[in-house]
Structure 1
Amino acid sequence: MAIEIENKDQQHPRAKKDGEVVERLLQESANDNNLAEVARLRIRYGGFPGARSMQRNLDIVLERWNLTEEGLFELTRQIHAEGRAYKRNSNGEEQEDWT
């Protein structure tokens, strides 16, 4: 007897906040922080069973910036290695959000 598995899209708990970030990224140009944000979101939503519009919008951002995912990750590895990603807030803490 075969077990049937349903393919159901899931709602990511960070989708609302991340969606706001992606909407901003769609309007802005590539810079160190924006590249790091797109890479972070590509990692978060890559292979996620859902958030299809988020994934499409991230594809659009990369297309507008004339980047492939491989090129994005290459740039962001360099950005992180040189400590250029994410600015510090008024408390001196990095505003990086990997949750």
Structure 2
Amino acid sequence: MAEAKDQRHPQYTKDRQIVNELLAQSRQSNRDYADLARLIVRYKGFIGARDIQTDLLKILNNWQLTEEELFVKTRAIHAMGKVYMAQDEGQDDWA
């Protein structure tokens, strides 16, 4: 059986920038946690963007979190209210 060819995610360029910013963080905000969780969900199982997938795991490690701990934290953050600022309203970036 032939191996699947890596794909380029349509949000790759924008996501790469966010990942680079997360890699440089020394203190995390609620937005940072939410972005990391969102990107992990987006790229889990995606065939391609292996650099982003590797860096997402590196960020989790740097922040001393497991994926499950991150998701527990972000569920609590989302339960408190809006995470994303008003400038993001109307944008659906979960694709």
TM-score (norm 2): 0.88
Select which of 4, 8, 16 maps to 1:7: 4
Higher helix share: 2
State the distance in 2 between where 1:12 and 1:63 align: 24
| C-alpha displacement of 1:7 | 1.9
Count of aligned pairs: 94
Percentage identity across paired residues of the two chains: 46
Structure whose CA Rg is larger: 1
> Where do residues 63-78 of structure 1 align in structure 2 (5 Å cutoff)?
63-78=61-76
In structure 1, list runs of 5 or more residues that go unmatched. Answer: none
**Kept in 2: contact 1:88–1:95 (CA 8 A):** no
State the distance in 2 between where 1:93 and 1:46 align: 25
Moved over 6 A (4+): none
Partner of 2:94: 98
Deviations along 1:52-92, whole A, 9 cap, x unmatched?
11001011111111101000000000000111511222xx8
| C-alpha displacement of 1:95 | 6.6
In structure 2, list runs of 5 or more residues that go unmatched. Answer: none
Deviations along 1:2-35, whole A, 9 cap, x unmatched?
xx34321111111111000100110113210000
| C-alpha displacement of 1:94 | 6.7
The structure showing larger relative contact order (alpha-carbon pairs under 8 Å, at least 6 residues apart) is 2
Farther-moved stretch of structure 1 (25-34 vs 69-78)? 25-34
Partner of 2:81: 83
Alignment RMSD: 1.8
